[in-house]
Every structure is written in structure tokens, then in C-alpha cells.
Amino acid sequence: MNVLEEQECLEVLGTHLSLLDVTQAELDHRVAVAWRKFWALKVLLLNSRVSRKRRLQLFDSSVGSSFLYGAHAWTPRTEQLKKICSVQNRMLRRICGVTRHDTEEWVPWIQRATHKARQLALDAGVRDWVRAHAIRKWSWAGHAARRSVDSWLWRVTFWRDSEWNEAALEMGSHRPLRPSRRRWMKWEEPLRRFMAVGPGGSWSTAALDRETWEARTEEFASWFESNVD
């Protein structure tokens, strides 16, 4: 039997699980997977003789789908969301190939190239990765909240791991099971914050009304995006 070191990740169904920081480990893994897919398709993605719109659509269906696998389960912080934006921007700039003028400074060129690449991607129907993550989280939250309380999905979603950590310490654990020095952010935190600035109440209760919950998907996604800046 192989025993993993504490800093090593366990790969399960294409995702990386870590005892130290599960979200960071999985995001690093997904970024690496996305870049591998990007370079594997570079002959098509970077071919200027092929329609830019078609190349962007290929990027979304292949690279984008590879990156967003399991996105509903992430609990990223602001700095991690900004890194997601940065990675997608770099890929889009390469595909769109915005030329830098001879007298143009590097920062203005990056800003202009990013803005143009983003607009071209939007016109081609490319998903913004941060927004797509928010939409998937919202949809999955509604699905989980409407399951039976006896189902494994409901139990996992509403499992209070901070309470489990305290209980483990009381049972004799010699070190905190959560090594992060910051307050541990729970999966439901964005949902709770969104409900706090909106109609109020519990998100799990609001999710029981499927029609109303689904109607607020775009509202949540826009709120989520605005909190990345």
C-alpha cells in the first residue's frame, strides 16, 4: 500500500484532493490540465487561417470544458478567482493575436489586447470561467438543497466541517486538522453572502422553490463577478 506524504495530492475521478488546501490544489491541477489541452490543440487554436470565431468556440468546448470540470465544488478566494481570470485572458490573447504597435507601451497594449480578446470571446459565445463557476455552484446548490436529508448529497453539502475539526481536537488530535492560518471559507459562503445583501433568509430554504431559484441564476453570477474586482 502506498502512503502519500502530507503535501501530496490524491487523484480521484480526475480531481486532486489535498489535506492542506483542497481548492488551491484542484485549481492548480485544472490550470495545468487546461494548458496541456491548449498546447495539444495549438495547431488549430493559433492558426490565423482558420476563422477566429471557430477557434474561440473550439477553445470553449475543449480547453474551457477541461478547466471547468468539477467547478461547482470549488471554494475559491478572491485572489484565486483573479488568477483564473488571468489564465483565461492569457489564452484568449494568444488566440486573438492582437498586434502591439511599435510605439505602444507594454501595459496599454496588454489592457487593449485583453479588452479586445474578451469582447471577441463574448461575441463567439465563450464562457467566462469565473461566471461559469458561479452558475454551476448556484445550480448545484439548488439541486443539493432539494434532495432528501437522508441522501449522501444532502449530507455532504450541509456537513459542517469546522464543527468536525473541533470535535476531532476534543478527541485527542495533536494538531488542527485545518492547517490554514486564515478562517476556513465554507463552500456555501458566497451563497450566504449573496442572500444577506438580497432578500435575506437561508439560501437552502430559498432553493426549495426551483423556479424562483433558477430565475436568480444570472443575478447571482453578476453579483459574484462584481466581487472579484
Please tell me the predicted confidence (pLDDT) of residue 55: 97
The whole-angstrom separation of Cα 1 and Cα 108 is 55
Q: Which domain holds residue 190?
A: 132-178+185-226
- What DSSP string describes the chain? -----TT--EEETTEEE-SS-HHHHHHHHHHHHHHHHHHHTHHHHT-TTS-HHHHHHHHIIIIIHHHTTTGGG----HHHHHHHHHHHHHHHHHHHTPPPPTT--HHHHHHHHHHHHHHHHHHTTPPPHHHHHHHHHHHHHHHHHTS-TTSHHHHHHT--HHHHHHHHHHTT-SS-S---SSPPPPTTHHHHHHHHHTT-S-HHHHTTSHHHHHHTHHHHHHHHHHTT-
Does 4 map to a domain? no
The verdict on 138 and 121 lying in the same domain is no
Are 9 and 29 in contact by the 8 Å Cβ rule? The answer is yes
Q: How many domains does the chain contain in total?
A: 2
3 inside domain? no
Quick one: cell of 21?
488546501
Same domain, yes or no: 55 and 112: yes
Asked whether residue 148 falls in the same domain as residue 118, the answer is: no
pLDDT digits (tens, 9 = 90+) for 38-76: 999 999 999 999 999 999 999 999 999 999 999 998 989
26 inside domain: yes
CA 198, 202, 207, 209 torsion-angle sign: negative
pLDDT interval class at 153 (50, 70, 90): confident
Model pLDDT for residues 155-205, shown as the tens digit of each residue? 877 765 555 556 555 655 544 444 444 445 678 889 999 998 877 788 989
Last residue of some domain: 103, 127, 151?
Answer: 127
- Residue 2 covered by a domain: no
Interior/surface letters 168-178, b for 16+ CB within 10 angstroms, e for the rest: eeeeeeeeeeb
Tens-digit pLDDT profile for residues 103-143 = 889 899 999 999 999 999 999 999 999 999 999 999 999 99
**Side-chain-facing half-sphere of 22: CA atoms under 13 Å:** 17
- pLDDT tens digit sequence for 168-178: 556 555 444 44
Flag whether pLDDT at 29 surpasses 60. Answer: yes
What value does the mean pLDDT take over residues 133-154?
90
Tell me, yes or no, whether 25 and 84 share the same domain: yes
Contact 59, 95 (CB under 8 A): yes
Q: Please give the pLDDT value at position 207.
A: 92
Domain assignment present for residue 1? The answer is no
- The pLDDT assigned to 187 comes to 83
178 vs 170: CA distance, rounded Å: 14
Domain finish residue from 127, 142, 161: 127
Calculate ∠ Cα 8-12-16, nearest 5°.
45
- % of the chain at pLDDT higher than 90: 55
C-alpha cell at 204: 437552502
Residue 27 has pLDDT above 60, yes or no: yes
> Cell triple for residue 84?
483564473
Q: What is the pTM of this model?
A: 0.84
Looking at residue 227, its pLDDT comes to: 79
